[in-house]
Amino acid sequence: MPELYIIGNGFDKGHGLKTSYWNFREYLEKYEEDFLVQMEKECIKFRVTGFAIYMGD
């Protein structure tokens, strides 16, 4: 059975792995641009809606 190790606290960065959100975004921009555009639109909608709820609208 395959094993998955999840290690945090900078282990990935300390070993020079490109695991930041920005690296993920660059991958999407190159290979899945339509998905990236839709995801960012949804994130903006979510932030605006969440802010309106927070402000009491």
Q: Does the residue 6 lie in any domain?
A: no
pTM of the model: 0.55
Report yes or no on 1 lying in a domain: no
pLDDT digits (tens, 9 = 90+) for 1-57: 899 887 777 888 888 999 888 999 999 999 999 999 999 898 888 777 776 666 665
Q: Which domain holds residue 34?
A: 11-55
Predicted local confidence at residue 6, as pLDDT: 79
d(CA 50, CA 56): 10
Residue 36 buriedness (CB in 10 A; 0-12 / 13-18 / 19+)? middle
Number of domains in the chain: 1
CA distances from 22 to 19, 27, 29, 42 (A): 8, 9, 10, 18
